[in-house]
């Protein structure tokens, strides 16, 4: 308090003496007003606050747009059926329906089974993807064997080929060997991820060569160097890729729909589709309850890996 009251008393003398205000190119008339500097500083602070407000406003609006479907899903899952189609955007239901839809969903539909299928397929895909992509990206990033550049261009080219292109031949092949309606059929097209090879190659490229040479001098084989020295340093990128891969394949509907007709093997989205058409028809409350349950694991995984995910992408 003391200091605060003392400052204004000394201030005018100081301020009228110095002419820093004119440095900003402002009219000299300001310089004569004792509180000109305070006025100016206030303007600057106001401007900064407005910019911050605008930036945060834009970000919040973006976040709201992203979150709205989730909110809609959550709200619908606890709404009584007659409220759902009233088109009310009110965030909270007038009559709380409680866990009713969740009970229905769990009773009619093998949600747990779908999730188990999802876990199996996603972890199988991720494991093989990493087993293939880590050595491949190490070779592309660090080994010199004459054709590494050509092979890298091939990887880049392969990034541009969408799954739809290879779907038909893969389907025919699987049908020929009687592989349809298996977990393997759901995983096969994704075992080799050129995206993983690309992402990891970029991150392994930054690993210091001196450390690799030191490891070679210490007697490590290339495989040991890779798994014991390089991989632990690339954890962030691997985690980032893992989140991408898990989200993509947990939510994938296209490929499972082609190769799976057995409800028992359906991963979450396909299961939901079976569920929506066969059992519940228009019971959107239960549908949303099911969707909520199926989205939950992904959100949890992302929240747990969030820091590494961001590290892995911003390196």
Q: Which residues bind other proteins (CB under 8 A)?
A: 208, 210-211, 213-220, 224, 228-229, 232-233
To other proteins, the closest distance from the beta carbon of 235 in angstroms equals 9
Work out how close the CB of 16 gets to other proteins at its nearest, in angstroms, rounded to a whole number.
47
Token pair for 299: 């959100």
Q: How far is the CB of 221 from other proteins (least distance, A)?
A: 8
Cβ–Cβ < 8 Å for 292, 73 = yes
The least CB distance from residue 228 to other proteins, in Å, is 8
Dihedral over Cα of 293, 297, 298, 304: its sign: positive
Question: In the 8-state DSSP scheme, what is residue 192?
Answer: S
CB of 232 to other proteins, least distance (A): 4
CB 183 within 8 A of CB 192: no
Cβ neighbours, 10 Å, residue 181: 15
We find the least distance from the C-beta atom of residue 216 to other proteins, in angstroms, to be 5
Nearer to other proteins, 229 or 301 (CB): 229
By C-beta, is 66 or 217 nearer to other proteins?
217
In three-state secondary structure terms, 262 is coil
Residue nearer to other proteins on the CB measure, 218 or 262:
218
Nearest to 94 by CA among 78, 110, 70, 112: 78
CB nearer to other proteins: pick between 135 and 271 = 135
Helix (H, G, I), strand (E, B) or coil at 38: helix
Nearer to other proteins, 213 or 261 (CB): 213
Task: State which residue, 166 or 213, has the beta carbon closest to other proteins.
Answer: 213
Burial grade of 145 (CB within 10 A; 0-12, 13-18, 19 or more)? exposed
The string over 69-106, giving b where at least 16 C-beta atoms fall within 10 Å of a residue's C-beta and e elsewhere, is: eeeeebbbbbbeeebbeeeeeeeebeeebeebbbebbb
255 close to 163: Cβ distance less than 8 angstroms: yes
Shortest spacing between CB 153 and other proteins, in angstroms? 21
Smaller CB separation from other proteins, 146 or 219: 219
């Amino acid at each position: 308090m003391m200091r605060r009251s003392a400052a204004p008393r000394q201030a005018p003398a100081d301020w009228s003496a110095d002419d820093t205000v004119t440095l900003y190119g402002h009219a000299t008339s300001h310089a004569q007003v004792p509180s000109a500097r305070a006025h100016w500083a206030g303007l600057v602070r106001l401007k900064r606050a407005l910019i911050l407000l605008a930036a945060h406003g834009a970000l919040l609006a973006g976040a709201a747009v992203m979150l709205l479907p989730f909110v809609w899903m959550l709200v619908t899952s606890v709404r009584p059926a007659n409220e759902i189609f009233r088109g009310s955007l009110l965030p909270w239901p007038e009559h709380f329906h409680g866990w009713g839809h969740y009970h229905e969903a769990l009773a009619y539909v093998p949600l747990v089974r779908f999730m188990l299928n999802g876990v199996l397929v996603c972890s199988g895909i991720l494991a093989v993807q990493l087993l293939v992509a880590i050595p491949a990206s190490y070779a592309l990033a660090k080994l010199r064997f004459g054709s590494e550049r050509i092979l890298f261009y091939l990887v880049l080219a392969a990034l541009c080929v969408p799954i739809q292109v290879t779907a038909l031949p893969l389907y025919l092949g699987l049908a020929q060997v009687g592989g349809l309606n298996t977990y393997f059929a759901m995983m096969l097209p994704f075992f080799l991820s050129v995206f993983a090879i690309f992402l990891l190659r970029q991150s392994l490229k930054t690993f210091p060569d001196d450390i690799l040479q030191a490891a070679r001098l210490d007697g490590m084989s290339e495989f040991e160097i890779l798994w014991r020295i390089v991989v632990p340093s690339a954890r962030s990128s691997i985690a980032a890729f893992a989140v991408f891969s898990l989200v993509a394949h947990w939510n994938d509907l296209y490929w499972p729909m082609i190769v799976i007709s057995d409800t028992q093997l359906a991963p979450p989205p396909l299961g939901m589709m079976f569920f929506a058409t066969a059992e519940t028809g228009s019971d959107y409350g239960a549908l949303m309850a099911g969707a909520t349950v199926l989205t939950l694991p992904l959100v949890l995984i992302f929240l747990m890996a969030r820091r590494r995910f961001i590290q892995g992408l911003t390196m």
